[in-house]
Structure 1
Amino acid sequence: MTLSKSYNYASHEDYLEGEKFSPIKHEYRQGEIYAMAGASDAHETIAGNLFALLRNHVRGTGCRIYIGNMKARIEQADVFYYPDIMVTCDERGRSLEYFKRHPRLIVEVLSPTTASFDRGNKFADYRTIETLQEYVVINQESIGVECYRRNAEGRWELYPYGVGAEVRLDSADFECPIAQIYEDVLEIG
């Protein structure tokens, strides 16, 4: 998804109110609002595949999973993002209707135009969320899942997964063959 700047400065309240009625989604970074472009078939299929697998896995655990339309509020970075997938198990966020503050897992499917931002500034913003345990980026053009996991010392470690791998997401106590994430998208030989 491509981001393009839409407005000059907006307050949190104006942004949130505008998003309720906007026909397109926008992300918010330190008072600036950026329109989000639509996603490709591969992007949506990959996100949908992983969402379906995770949804069945977290059912009945008290955790909630969101796909694409729930905002993540990152106080320290002063941003609102729309992660492709977000899992939260924190009771503090139950009453928040339009955004969540305490995710434990965030997944972004990389687009060619946003891959650098998703791996760079966006990941830096996500790292400031104290409850976040894993940040996952998924390549939509070739088989590849990168799982960044916070270790016991608070440092982020990379766990890459390729063809034939079992993808492990500790934050959700979840594991699946990488082929299931890419089902109907890329041939895995």
Structure 2
Amino acid sequence: MALTAKRDARMDVSEFRLWVESRPAHERRELPDGGPVLMAPPRERHRAIVANLIRRIGDLADGRGCRTMPDLGIPRPARDDFATVPDVVVRAGPPLPEGDATDPLLVAEVLLPATMRLDRGRKIDTCRTVPRLAVMPIVYSDAARVEVWRRAGDDRSVAALGLDGTVPLPELDGAVPVRDIYRGLAF
């Protein structure tokens, strides 16, 4: 049985933040188009990939004075009714008082077959509108495939990598082998 949050009016990001504080702590929600959506609890495979990303990317980020964290909100700059919660966020600067990152350097998303349409569509589109975002690895959970979306000025590129590939992260002075992202998992 699915539970839906029903509201008569759309919310903006600040209203969403207040509303979410009254919800149980274990519930994860996003705000697409002004309506809160309950996110399914992640499976162990998904969490293992996220943990591997945080471990490997986090080591590189530490060397640049950045922090790597899971599940920070990313509001869409031009809209106040859309906030997404990517799996991994790398950012510099002091801790965020509100918990929303408007200045991520890197955002990584682990795709699930059930949510791929939303994750590859609106979430990626939202993250690409964030001015400081330079790189966005999109990691498939059901196949050894990583797409690396990159922006440098007005140039944009996408590279697809397999198990033997390496995700270049010059922004963090390093790289992450795709095998390390899937460490401990079988296909």
CA contact (8 A) 1:77 1:125 kept: no
Aligned equivalent of 1:136: 137
Aligned equivalent of 1:102: 103
Q: Secondary structure at the match of 1:138?
A: strand
Structure 2 unmatched ranges of 5 or more: none
CA contact (8 A) 1:4 1:34 kept: no
Q: Secondary structure at the match of 2:18?
A: helix
After the TM superposition, which parts of structure 1 deviate over 6 Å for at least 4 consecutive aligned residues? none
Structure 1 unmatched ranges of 5 or more: none
Amino acid paired to 1:176:
V
Aligned equivalent of 1:45: 48
Aligned equivalent of 2:127: 126
**Structure 1 residue 162, shift from structure 2 partner:** 0.4
Amino acid paired to 2:184:
D
Distance of aligned partners of 1:171 and 1:77 in 2 relative to their CA distance in 1, 3 Å threshold: farther
Farther off after superposition, 39-48 or 94-103: 94-103
CA contact (8 A) 1:71 1:98 kept: yes
- Give me the whole-angstrom Cα distance separating, in 1, the residues matched to 2:48 and 2:124: 23
1:163 aligns with 2:166: no
- Give me the whole-angstrom Cα distance separating, in 2, the residues matched to 1:4 and 1:73: 24
- Give me the whole-angstrom Cα distance separating, in 1, the residues matched to 2:6 and 2:114: 20
Q: Give the alignment's TM-score, normalised by structure 1.
A: 0.86
Q: How does 1:61-140 map to 2 (within 5 A)?
A: 61-68=64-71, 70-78=72-80, 79-89=82-92, 91=93, 94-140=95-141
**Structure 1 residue 95, shift from structure 2 partner:** 4.1
Question: RMSD of aligned C-alpha atoms?
Answer: 2.1
1:149 aligns with 2:113: no
**Structure 1 residue 116, shift from structure 2 partner:** 1.9
Deviations 1:25-79 (A, max 9, x none): 11012321111111121110001001011222222532121112x2112221432
Amino acid paired to 1:116:
R
Distance of aligned partners of 1:11 and 1:149 in 2 relative to their CA distance in 1, 3 Å threshold: closer
**Structure 1 residue 165, shift from structure 2 partner:** 1.3
Amino acid paired to 1:7:
K
Of all paired residues, the percent bearing the same amino acid is 24
Distance of aligned partners of 1:159 and 1:114 in 2 relative to their CA distance in 1, 3 Å threshold: same
CA contact (8 A) 2:74 2:127 kept: no
**Structure 1 residue 5, shift from structure 2 partner:** 5.2
Aligned equivalent of 1:184: 184
Q: Between Structure 1 and Structure 2, how many residues are aligned? A: 181
Distance of aligned partners of 1:176 and 1:35 in 2 relative to their CA distance in 1, 3 Å threshold: same
Amino acid paired to 1:72:
I
CA contact (8 A) 1:142 1:186 kept: no
- Give me the whole-angstrom Cα distance separating, in 2, the residues matched to 1:130 and 1:11: 20
Deviations 1:165-184 (A, max 9, x none): 12212333331221111011
Deviations 1:102-144 (A, max 9, x none): 1111100000011122222221111111111112110111101
